[in-house]
Structure 1
Amino acid sequence: MSTPKDAPTSTARNTPRDTPRSTPRSTPRNTPRNAPGSAPLRLDTEKLFAARLHAVRARPHLATALFAMHVVESTRVPTMAVDRHWRCYVSPRFVERTPEEELASVWVHEVSHLLRDHARRGDRLLRAIDREGPAARLRINLAADCEINDDAFGDGLVRIPGAVYPDVLRLPEGRLMEDYARQFSVSTQYQHLVWLECGSGADGREREWDLGPDGAHGLSEQERDLVRFRVAQGITAHPGEVPAGWRRWAEEVFHPPQPWRQLLGAAIRSTMASAGAGEDYSYGRPARRSTGLPKVVLPSLRRRPPRVAVVVDTSGSVSDSELGSALLETAAILRTLGGRRDLVSVISCDAAARVARQAAADSGWTLIGGGGTDLRSGFTTALGRRPTPDVVVALTDGQTPWPSTPPPCRTVVGLFPRARPRRTADDEDDPGYTPDTPPHWARVVTLG
């Protein structure tokens, strides 16, 4: 093939003086030293997986979770990061320059974000404080790092240099991510920490390298919960070998906090939906049987709304905030019944029962009490009202005797939480005193 007259030839005279002949022009400046030419640096999986085995030996209770993460090689992630679906994105350059013992600590740090579900918890917290955006998500990431790093290292794991610890933010140790996030704000003094990038599995913000829910090798929500449950089993089997933060986490996995407002509302709605009865006929809605009788209009049996009696424990062991919660739930019941106060009766009960005065709509109810506790009198008063209630809702701390026989209506019990039973003057001499548990015939929801 002929060469055009104006095309440069390959002679040395056409080579610019300031360009070394041995260095190709196409070689980028940041090409790794051990990469031939412009070939990208490949992930050193042997070193990465050796570091994971180091992490497993140091933290055997995390082995299930460490092996559940799927490694994704990525040049766009600065170090190592995780997404919500338990993929671990790894930078080849980061693996090359980081010692194996530090990589082991990073493995434990990243899997801790996933086990403790920081992404979902961060979403809830930002909704609660009405914040959103990159700065708010960085705040979640830093707070989550503080929760992990305060007791993650030592005993076979080295401390990660440059990571975030509570003392870096001038915060105490041993707190949860939600506590840390409320105690500081992202300001200029923390701008040097912006490089920290733990991924959407840590703060909930999707990254450009995320494969998303439909990408390969992601775990489903059920699989993620199963991994957490197995790790929690291993921790509870050997509680003396793990830090206090992990023991607390394992207890919450086995006994998660209940969304008690939703549970109580659902229990009351389902109970009231089944209550009530057809007690009167009405021509406002013809009966369905009318279609079989031409020219004859039959009345239909009208279902009345249920009547609800709310028994509120007003004994001395119930705090003012708990009584406030009881009034809020009573107001919610009233809204469910369309604001009809004639269908809702509120009974204050300590050792004796008193029917609360039905106040005006804008002032609510007044609760009275402060003595001992015996909800049996409250149930007797509620069932003795005419007309009798279709549903009885008892809001109590549970430190009370219960009726020996089930009421002739549906019953829901809302329990205020108690760490341990409180003794009264009557049972101070009985060291083994424990209050009776709610009866089996009641639907029970723990409040708070």
Structure 2
Amino acid sequence: MTGALDRTKLLAARFRAAQDRPYLATALFSLTVVESRRVPTMGVDRRWRCYVSPDFVDRLPVAQLAAVWIHEVAHLLRDHHGRADRLPGAGRHDHFRVNVAQDCEINDDLVADLLPLPVDRVEPKTFGMRDGLLFEQYLSMLPASVASHPGIDCGSGAHGLDRPWENGSPGGVSEVEAGAIRRDTAHGVRAHARTRGTVPAGWARWAAEVLEPKVDWRRALTGAVREAAAWASGAVDYTYHRPSRRSSAMRGVVLPSLRQPVPRVAIVVDTSGSMGDEELGAALAEVSGVLQAVGIGGNRVTVLSCDADVHAVRQVHTVGEVQLAGGGGTDLRVGVAAALKARPHFVIVLTDGYTPWPETPLESTRVIAGLIGSDAPQPPSWITTIRIDG
């Protein structure tokens, strides 16, 4: 057991990291150091506090400590905790596997940049995976044996779950400040790439995403479905199944009461020859999750497989019940027409866009098109369009 944290050595390592990678300097110097004997090595929380083990600092030379500084700040710059929060439930709570996948996303860039990371690091090749992917992709590819890999816990600033050593120490960075740091760093990455051309591909990709953000289609789809569901729920109607309470004041007269319907949804799936089963399955799974999130399920969802004709119509409870059939030409107008027979409040169409569309808006029914593929043609303007990039 060592004495107090050797701050001189630790801060010298940070200074070296900032000198060697000047585009990361602002982010590195935004971290607040917190000494802790409970953290295994080094870890960060959501507020950009860096918890450091004195023993870990004593064991590593300055050059390796500088590489670890860059590794930890990369978790925060890449918003790993925010992205982990958006994972499906089962994956989100397995913080160890999430952290390993995140380390794979970071360390392939750091190794390619010749940074001397500790020998017990993990990188994609540790598990026979290729470089250059995002942690969400690595997470699904990790083998079951990853659970036996020891010593990885970069804190809630990485995997998103609070750790015992994160004690809410003073200082820290707000979400607004973190966004400004990310943008400043992204500009630094681009400037460095223009003048020296030595930025790893992963950092260049990250900078482009920060400075030229793409809309997350899952969020956009969720928003469109929520809006359509709210619109449908506002379509109140009269019913005699439960008479109005005012009937008691009018002898011999039964008054209807108002009801607010649970939205009915039809999903038209393009199963023509131009559509791939993998893309369709993934998009359908996302749509199912969105519908469940807004409280639409049970027998309220009808799925229709369609190419130039309708091949299967089913009310489903889970994605596993969906039957996809077809493989011919494409005319989703027949699928939409068939969907309207179930009197849905809104229709979701999953397609690559190479299809005729109804020429005029549908009466009392909204249409949301999930376009699969970056080159999918644009539907008519009255259709809510979400581009699904995978």
TM-score calculated relative to the size of structure 1: 0.64
Does the 8 Å contact 1:310/1:346 carry over to 2?
Answer: yes
CA distance in 1 between counterparts of 2:163 and 2:358 reads: 58
Taking structure 1 as reference, are residues 99 and 144 closer, same or farther at Cα in structure 2, changes over 3 Å only?
A: same
Aligned to 1:441: 382
CA distance in 1 between counterparts of 2:358 and 2:198 reads: 46
CA distance in 2 between counterparts of 1:324 and 1:146 reads: 26
Taking structure 1 as reference, are residues 366 and 150 closer, same or farther at Cα in structure 2, changes over 3 Å only?
A: closer
Aligned to 1:282: 240
Q: Which has the higher contact order (CA 8 A, sep 6+)?
A: 2
**Which of 373, 377, 380 matches 1:418?**
373
Aligned to 2:157: 201
Q: Which moved more, 1:247-256 or 1:51-60?
A: 247-256
Q: Which moved more, 1:224-233 or 1:121-130?
A: 121-130
| SS of equivalent to 2:19 | helix
Aligned to 1:16: none
1:299 aligns with 2:259: no
1:83 aligns with 2:24: no
Taking structure 1 as reference, are residues 345 and 201 closer, same or farther at Cα in structure 2, changes over 3 Å only?
A: closer
Q: Which moved more, 1:161-170 or 1:353-362?
A: 353-362
| SS of equivalent to 1:109 | helix
The runs of 5 or more residues in structure 1 that have no matched partner are: 1-29, 32-39, 422-434
Q: How many percent of aligned residue pairs carry the same amino acid?
A: 43
CA distance in 2 between counterparts of 1:439 and 1:105 reads: 52
Taking structure 1 as reference, are residues 77 and 307 closer, same or farther at Cα in structure 2, changes over 3 Å only?
A: closer
Does the 8 Å contact 1:307/1:390 carry over to 2?
Answer: yes
Whose helix proportion is higher, 1 or 2? Answer: 2
1:211 aligns with 2:167: yes
The runs of 5 or more residues in structure 2 that have no matched partner are: none
Aligned to 2:329: 372
Aligned to 2:349: 394
What amino acid maps onto 1:80 in structure 2? M
Q: Which moved more, 1:324-333 or 1:215-224?
A: 324-333
**Which of 175, 179, 182 matches 1:228?**
182
Aligned to 1:27: none
Aligned to 2:105: 147
CA distance in 1 between counterparts of 2:112 and 2:315 reads: 62
1:270 aligns with 2:230: yes
Does the 8 Å contact 2:240/2:255 carry over to 1?
Answer: yes
Does the 8 Å contact 1:312/1:394 carry over to 2?
Answer: yes
Question: Structure 1 residue 338: deviation in Å?
Answer: 5.7
CA distance in 2 between counterparts of 1:51 and 1:360 reads: 58
Does the 8 Å contact 2:303/2:316 carry over to 1?
Answer: no
Taking structure 1 as reference, are residues 166 and 220 closer, same or farther at Cα in structure 2, changes over 3 Å only?
A: same
Does the 8 Å contact 2:372/2:387 carry over to 1?
Answer: yes
Does the 8 Å contact 1:311/1:382 carry over to 2?
Answer: no
Per-residue CA deviation, residues 188-215 of structure 1 (Å, 9 max, x unaligned), is: 7x5xx64x66444345564443223xx3
Aligned to 2:35: 73
Taking structure 1 as reference, are residues 315 and 264 closer, same or farther at Cα in structure 2, changes over 3 Å only?
A: farther
What amino acid maps onto 2:354 in structure 1? Q
What amino acid maps onto 1:255 in structure 2? K
> Whose radius of gyration is greater, 1 or 2?
1
Aligned to 2:19: 57
Does the 8 Å contact 1:142/1:164 carry over to 2?
Answer: no
| SS of equivalent to 1:415 | strand
CA distance in 1 between counterparts of 2:330 and 2:104 reads: 44
Does the 8 Å contact 1:373/1:399 carry over to 2?
Answer: yes
Per-residue CA deviation, residues 118-163 of structure 1 (Å, 9 max, x unaligned), is: 456667779536985xxx73x55454434322221576x6413434
Question: Structure 1 residue 313: deviation in Å?
Answer: 2.1
Per-residue CA deviation, residues 229-275 of structure 1 (Å, 9 max, x unaligned), is: 54345446666542122234445552364446755653552343244
CA distance in 2 between counterparts of 1:304 and 1:130 reads: 35
CA distance in 2 between counterparts of 1:202 and 1:331 reads: 25
Does the 8 Å contact 2:371/2:385 carry over to 1?
Answer: no
What amino acid maps onto 2:90 in structure 1? A
CA distance in 2 between counterparts of 1:246 and 1:371 reads: 43
Taking structure 1 as reference, are residues 161 and 82 closer, same or farther at Cα in structure 2, changes over 3 Å only?
A: same
| SS of equivalent to 1:185 | helix
Per-residue CA deviation, residues 22-52 of structure 1 (Å, 9 max, x unaligned), is: xxxxxxxx67xxxxxxxx646444x544443
Question: Structure 1 residue 286: deviation in Å?
Answer: 1.7
- What aligned pairs does 1:242-257 form with structure 2 within 5 A after superposition? 242-250=199-207, 253=210, 254-255=213-214, 257=216
Backbone CA RMSD of aligned residues: 4.7
Aligned to 2:277: 320
CA distance in 1 between counterparts of 2:5 and 2:316 reads: 74
Aligned to 2:145: 185
Taking structure 1 as reference, are residues 57 and 442 closer, same or farther at Cα in structure 2, changes over 3 Å only?
A: farther
TM-score calculated relative to the size of structure 2: 0.71
**Which of 70, 77, 81 matches 1:108?**
70
CA distance in 1 between counterparts of 2:84 and 2:289 reads: 31
Does the 8 Å contact 2:5/2:57 carry over to 1?
Answer: no
Question: Structure 1 residue 396: deviation in Å?
Answer: 1.7
CA distance in 1 between counterparts of 2:316 and 2:347 reads: 23
Does the 8 Å contact 2:314/2:322 carry over to 1?
Answer: yes
Does the 8 Å contact 2:244/2:254 carry over to 1?
Answer: yes
CA distance in 1 between counterparts of 2:306 and 2:274 reads: 12
Taking structure 1 as reference, are residues 444 and 222 closer, same or farther at Cα in structure 2, changes over 3 Å only?
A: farther
